[in-house]
Amino acid sequence: MRFEIVTIFPGFFAGIFENGILRRALAEGLVTVGVHDLRAFTHDRHRTVDDRPFGGGEGMVLKPEPLAEALASLGIQPKAERLKGTGFSPYVDAASEPRALALEGNISEESLPASRPRVILLSAQGRPFTQALARELAADERVVLVCGRYEGVDERINHIYCDMELSIGDYVLSGGELAAAVVIDATMRLLPGVLGNEASGEFESFGVADAEIAVAEDGVPRSQHGAGGLLDYPHYTRPADFGGLRVPETLLNGDHSEIRRWRREQQLRKTLANRPDLLEGATLSKEDRKLLEAIRLEAE
């Protein structure tokens, strides 16, 4: 998989790619990243990439010409050209994602060319970045990340080139560089071979449900429980006693069915306490719902 980043601060990414799992994934050729300086596509002595907004107001806006040239240098056509002949509409409202909208007939996502790059604008106005979307991006061969800056990017770049806008949270950053790093990290760790244990990308917060997990058990009884969209359960390691607190006895008794149930209950407890909004879309069994009701009654 290849990521392309368009930014006015290419040096921002140097340290990020030199550490941890991403460094190993790059070294092993599982992921490649190209960082492109937007100022290299300007044509004045000041290397100007921004200008005042039409209509007045505070701040500056990234100009469309350098961004269009930067994308063209990467072989990125306007999305109308990229989607030509697929039956998908390139012109949708900013909250929608064109790959999911068919103009006519039963056009599926699979009908699009596998090598078609996905162009993403990182913006506070974008749709939320989620683990489910990270899994979707991990199936792409090439993702181009356009880092917003200042008050934003000229909307015509979004309209003409970008398949989606993404936001990593309900807050405003100084620019899209941090968001780009988050998207790359969350996505690349889901690629085959990147994590030391393939199960690590499935048995975790926001992970898939049990029915979607196909990881080999490798001789270890499956005591974990697929998240099904919930938060992960608490984790403990040695020593068994620390700071006056002891590891829950259930985790020490070797009964995998009990461990499984305890972990699921803890997932429900943590999700209810920290992210109750996730419960609406989570994959819950009848047993889950009974546990959740008992937890709620206990809290009353």
Q: Three-state SS across 13-49?
A: HCCHHHCHHHHHHHHCCCCEEEEEEHHHHCCCCCCCC
pLDDT at 104 over 60: no
Q: Higher model confidence: residue 183 or residue 223?
A: 183
* pLDDT mean across residues, the chain: 84
- At residue 14, the pLDDT reads 87
Mean pLDDT in residue range 118-138: 95
Q: What is the distance between the alpha carbons of residues 176 and 298, in angstroms, rounded to a whole number?
A: 43
Kindly report, residue by residue over 192-227, the tens digit of the pLDDT. 999 754 544 444 555 555 555 555 444 433 445 566
- At residue 299, the pLDDT reads 87
pLDDT at 297 over 90: yes
Of 140-149, 210-219, 224-233, 248-257, the least confident: 210-219
The closest alpha carbon to 112, from 145, 146, 89, belongs to: 89
**Mind listing the domains of the chain with CATH numbers?**
2-188 (3.40.1280.10), 203-299 (1.10.1270.20)
- At residue 209, the pLDDT reads 56
- At residue 232, the pLDDT reads 86
- At residue 259, the pLDDT reads 92
Q: Which amino acid is at 15?
A: G
When pLDDT is cut at 50, 70 and 90, the band that residue 294 belongs to is very high
Q: What is the distance between the alpha carbons of residues 173 and 68, in angstroms, rounded to a whole number?
A: 23
280: Cα separation from own chain's centroid: 20
CB 191 within 8 A of CB 100: no
For residue 144, how many other CB atoms are within 10 A of its CB?
Answer: 24
Kindly report, residue by residue over 162-174, the tens digit of the pLDDT. 999 999 999 999 9
